[in-house]
Structures are given as structure tokens and as C-alpha cells.
Amino acid sequence: MSTLLDITTCKRDTRVAMRIINDVSRLRGDRTQDEVAKSIGVSRQALSAIENGRAVPSTDVALKLARALGCRVEDLFALGEGTLKTTGHTGGRASLAFVSGRWVAHAADASDMSAADALVGRDGTARLLTDEPAARATLVCAGCAPALGLLASRTARHARSRVQWLERSSGAALDLLAREHVHLAGAHLFDEGSQDFNLAHVRARWPDARVVTLARWEAGLVVPKGNPQRLKSAGDLVRHRVRVVRREAGSGAEALLQRALAHKGPLLRGPLARGHFDVARAVAFGAAGAGVAIRSAALAFGLDFVPLAEERFDLVFSAALASDTRVQALLDTMTQRPFLSELKRLGGYAVHETGKVLQ
């Protein structure tokens, strides 16, 4: 069921028009168009245009029309069968999230060709490619940790609950959470003042948010096998003029690189990577000589690794979702032996604090 705002801001199609004809004509019953038109302060011609799908009423007219017909505005308007109105990504394949009572579309990841939930038009109208109840029940989590993909898969097996992982930097993930485009966000953002991860950033935006640790990991320089340039620190990147894979501003990896450099000089910039595995891939393919990522990414591509720091990666979600059965299923899966054993086997992860509630 769509809201009035959805209808007034989207292009109309035949299915939407037919639904308006059926609803308005049926709901006015034996009352003539003239009678209904006068009761809401419009001409008969205007009401006829609404009933025939040639015009979309303003907010004021729609409210008066619903009142006159003894129904809700939502009862007057709906998108055609198999379609939804969304916010967010437009014009392509998308995964869907139902967050805070609205549908949000996220661009589907083309790199792994995972099946999309919908095809979204430029007006935000989404044509479903999956079952709506299943999409509505999906828990959506954004963050850069590859472990989130593993956790999503394990949660589906352990609790039969679908979790969708969106690979985003820490800053981008928290921004999505702030806009209520995802249910959970993952982050590893260091705060100089507290000398701790995430909590200061979270408390500044959501004093009552829940923060739960996923894992600790080793972050550092991913370098070619054998470390041919004998890199030992971030400063060596400047001294040896190494081409460096960069991450976007707001990412934990980019923040670590800047802290480690401590103004030692300008870097020779390489390609921009979306996530930890993309950094390792760029180094493995020779597009750059180094980049900051986690140890497990280096191991996955058979590369060497120069540790710079141990970081804590936490999950953040609203207090209102703390009792949500989907969130509880994910947190329960996170502390189960199969997930912990597999995560440790990936290398570079420490799980002794996994599941710890920090706030």
C-alpha cells in the first residue's frame, strides 16, 4: 500500500490508474460525481479526471476525498500488483529493505551478480522479482567487514532468517543508519580523544543506540608476496614512492592510513577501492604496490601483510530494534561455535569479545 506522497511524486502507469478508477468509483457507491465533487470542493470534471486516472489529487483534495468517502487515503491509492514505491536507488537492479515503515532500494552488487529483489524505475517504482513478505522480513546490515557476509550466510542457516549485507565504509554505513536506510551498521572508527573505537562517534549521533562487538582484527599494509620493497611502516610508502590503493574519506582504513602517515609527506595515489578485498585484489593484479586492509584480505589473495594496528569492529543499531527477533537471531548466530570457528580460520580475527554489549 502506498502513501499519498508516493502517488503524487511518481509517474502514473495503467495499473495505478485502474486502481484509482476501481476504488473511487466503488467507494462513492450510489452518490453521483456531482455530489461527491461538491462535498470536497472540486468540479465534476476534476473528480472525473481523478477517477479515470488522468489526474492525481493534491494532498488537500485527497484528504477531503477520503473523508467524504469514509475511508483512509491509503485505501484510495495503491501501486499495481507486484510493484512498490521506494526511496533510495533508482534506475536499475536493487535489493530492498523495509525500514521504519518504508521501502528502501539499494543498488544490487553487480560484481557477484546476486539475485536482485526488484527492478527500480527512475521514479522509484520497484517491480518485485521476489516474494514481498520475504523482502519485508529481510534484515539489512551495512559495513565494510567481509565477516558480515559470513554472518549473513550463517544466520540464514542457523535461524532461517535472511540477512542482506551491503558492503560500505564505516562512515557510509553510519550515514545509511542515520537516514534509516538500513537496520544495522558496522564500523571501526577510531576516536583520538577517547583512544577507543566507535563509541564516541555513535554517542554523538545516537545516545541510546546499541553497540555490540563483532570482532577484533589486524589492519595494516597489504603488499605483494615477498614484500619486494621491504616495507615496514606507512612512512616507507612515501620514502619508496609506492603507488597506494586508496579508500574513500570516512572509511576506517583511510583514517588509519592518515594516522600512520602522520604528515610524512604526499602519497603516490593509486586506484580507489570499495572494500578490503578490493584493496587486496588491486595489489594482487599489480594496480598498486600497497594498500590498507585487514590481514584476512591479504591471506585470501596470497599476499604479504605489514601490521599497523589492531581494531575493533562493532555493530550499531537502534534501541527500538533490540528486541526484534531478526536482530536477536543475528546476535545469537554471532556467538555460536560454527561462526566463530570459521571466522578464526579466515585469519587475522580475534573473537574473544564477539557478542560483547558495549552500550
Q: Contact, 316 vs 174, CB < 8 A?
A: yes
Contacts of 271 (CB under 8 A, 6+ apart): 245, 246, 282, 287, 288
Best CATH choice for the domain 86-213+314-350 from the list 1.10.4030.10, 3.30.390.50, 3.40.50.300, 3.40.190.10: 3.40.190.10
pLDDT at 20: 43
DSSP assignment of 58-78 equals: -HHHHHHHHHHHTS-HHHH--
Nearest one of 241, 259, 245, 260 to 291, comparing CA atoms: 245
> Per the structure block, which three cell numbers stand in for 73?
487515503
Listed by start position, the domains of the chain span: 4-76, 86-213+314-350, 216-312
H or E stretch including 239? helix 235-239
pLDDT in tens, the chain (359 residues): 333 333 333 333 434 443 444 445 556 666 777 888 888 888 888 887 776 656 667 778 888 888 887 776 666 655 555 788 899 998 899 999 999 888 999 998 877 778 899 999 988 888 898 888 888 899 999 999 999 999 999 999 888 888 999 999 999 999 999 999 999 999 999 999 999 999 999 999 999 999 999 999 999 999 999 999 999 999 999 999 999 999 999 999 999 999 999 877 788 889 999 999 999 999 999 999 999 999 999 999 999 999 999 999 999 999 999 999 999 999 999 999 999 999 999 999 999 999 999 99
Apex 302 CA angle, 301 and 305, nearest 5: 100
Bridge partners for 84 per DSSP: 126
pLDDT at 165: 95
Best CATH choice for the domain 216-312 from the list 3.40.190.10, 3.30.70.100, 3.90.920.20, 3.40.50.2300: 3.40.190.10
DSSP assignment of 153-164 equals: HHHHHHH---EE
pLDDT at 30: 65
DSSP assignment of 19-51 equals: HHHHHHHHHTTTS-HHHHHHHHT--HHHHHHHH
Query: Is it true that 4-76 and 86-213+314-350 share their CATH fold?
Result: no
Strand 139-143 to 268-273 pairing: unpaired
Q: Which segments of the chain are extended strands (E)? A: 83-88, 92-99, 102-107, 118-120, 125-128, 139-143, 163-167, 184-187, 190-191, 196-197, 210-223, 243-247, 268-273, 290-294, 304-317, 349-350
pLDDT at 5: 36
Q: Contact, 116 vs 92, CB < 8 A?
A: no
By three-state DSSP, how is residue 270 classified?
strand
Nearest one of 144, 233, 140, 248 to 188, comparing CA atoms: 144
pLDDT at 159: 83
Fold (topology level) of 4-76: 434 Repressor (Amino-terminal Domain) (1.10.260)
pLDDT at 318: 95
Q: If you compute the radius of gyration of the chain from its CA atoms, what whole number of angstroms results?
A: 26
Apex 276 CA angle, 296 and 304, nearest 5: 50
Q: Which segments of 224-354 are extended strands (E)? A: 243-247, 268-273, 290-294, 304-317, 349-350
Distance in angstroms (rounded) separating the CA atoms of residues 21 and 47 = 11
